[in-house]
Amino acid sequence: MGQIKPASPVKLIVGVITANAALLDAVYLKLEDRFSEIDFASQFMPFDYTAYYSQEMGRELQRQFVSFEQLVPPDELAAAKRFSNTVECQFAESETARRRVNLDPGYISAAKLILASTKDHAHRIHLQNGIYAENTLRFRNKTFQPWEWTYPDYRTPAYIEIFNHIREIYLGQLKARGLRAHPD
């Protein structure tokens, strides 16, 4: 029988999509109030991998990734997704309820990038209350690697570079706290 051990803390991230970057200062204040100070923000990148959001959110969408200073237990992911959905609603257009910002929380550990979703699929595991977890990338051969189901944008060198950078921040935080990164 295997020994039950507490899970290592993980690095919470949020992928943000919007056509209105002026909203983000207020959005990020809400996220920081809940999750802790943002310790990394990527450059804005065009989000043109799919037209899925364009009818609701407009064209010329931009994507940014942020990570948070405080490490969290991995089982906080479901609560993070529920909170991010609440924030999306708070910033939706009042007349139409159309979202103006899309927030995709996930986490990075030493071995993987996990995303939260409200949509079930064969490769997703139910966490609680309608929130699922997807193993989106695995860390292998000194970099993150996609799975067959990984979204096209998450496969790009630009995104992989961002996630590798956030992983390095995470590993430094573990080391500073005297914690060892588990290979998962």
How confident is the prediction along the chain (184 residues), in pLDDT tens digits per residue?
A: 889 988 899 999 999 999 999 999 999 999 999 999 999 999 999 998 777 777 788 888 999 999 999 999 999 999 999 999 999 999 998 777 789 999 999 999 999 999 999 999 999 999 999 999 999 999 999 999 999 999 999 999 999 999 999 999 999 999 998 888 765 5
* Residue 78: how many other CB atoms lie within 10 Å: 18
SS3 content of the chain, % helix, strand, coil (to 5): 30, 30, 40
d(CA 84, CA 128) in angstroms, rounded, equals 15
Helix (H) or strand (E) holding 45: strand 45-46
d(CA 116, CA 39) in angstroms, rounded, equals 21
pTM, full prediction:
0.94
Q: Which residue has the tokens 């056509």?
A: 19
CA distances from 159 to 7, 45, 47, 49 (A): 26, 10, 11, 12
